[in-house]
Structure formats: structure tokens, C-alpha cells
């Protein structure tokens, strides 16, 4: 389970976040490309936009469930 006290710096405020367990596997960026982005310099993914509609929210939930390191969390 993701740790909301260990969020990566770049994530925008809101329900979904990524913590430091991210291994930059690209799965969430493929699953929810509107909401996740890669930090090229540091090699991790962050939430660049919170879901704006039901489809984006479901994509973020799918990414969270599929994350191999459980680095995606939802405080909503």
C-alpha cells in the first residue's frame, strides 16, 4: 500500500499520488496517460493531473490496482 507521508515531490495535490516505491515501470503512464507523467531526471512517475471525469478516475484506479510496487495511493 502506498504511503501518503512518502509522496514524490512532483505530484499535484489531490486524492491520487505516487510514493517513493515507484520503479518507473511505465504501467500507470500507459493506463492513465492523462494523469501520470515521468520525471526524466529522477526516473520516477508522478501524478501530473488529478482525474477530471469518471473515465480518468477509473483509469487512475486501474493503474493503482495494477501497480507492481503498490506505489500509487488514493486518499479520496
Indicate which CATH number applies to the domain containing 60. 3.30.70.20
Whether residue 1 is contained in a domain is answered as no
Measured in whole angstroms, the distance separating CA 5 from the mean position of its chain's CA atoms is 14
The answer to whether residue 55 sits within a structural domain is yes
Q: Which domain holds residue 48?
A: 16-74
Whether residue 11 lies inside any domain: the answer is no
Number of domains in the chain: 1
Summarize pLDDT for 15-69 with one digit per residue, the tens.
999 999 999 999 999 999 999 999 999 999 999 999 999 999 999 999 999 999 9
For the purposes of burial, counting CB atoms within 10 Å of the CB of 9, is it exposed (0-12), middle (13-18) or buried (19 or more)? exposed
Alpha carbon of 1 to those of 29, 53, 69: distances in Å?
A: 19, 24, 8
| This prediction's pTM | 0.94
Amino acid at each position: 500500500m502506498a504511503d501518503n507521508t512518502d509522496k514524490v515531490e512532483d505530484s499535484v495535490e489531490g486524492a491520487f499520488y505516487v510514493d517513493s516505491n515507484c520503479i518507473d515501470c511505465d504501467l500507470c503512464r500507459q493506463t492513465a496517460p492523462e494523469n501520470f507523467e515521468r520525471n526524466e531526471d529522477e526516473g520516477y512517475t508522478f501524478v501530473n493531473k488529478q482525474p477530471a471525469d469518471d473515465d480518468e478516475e477509473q483509469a487512475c484506479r486501474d493503474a493503482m490496482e495494477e501497480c507492481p510496487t503498490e506505489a500509487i495511493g488514493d486518499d479520496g
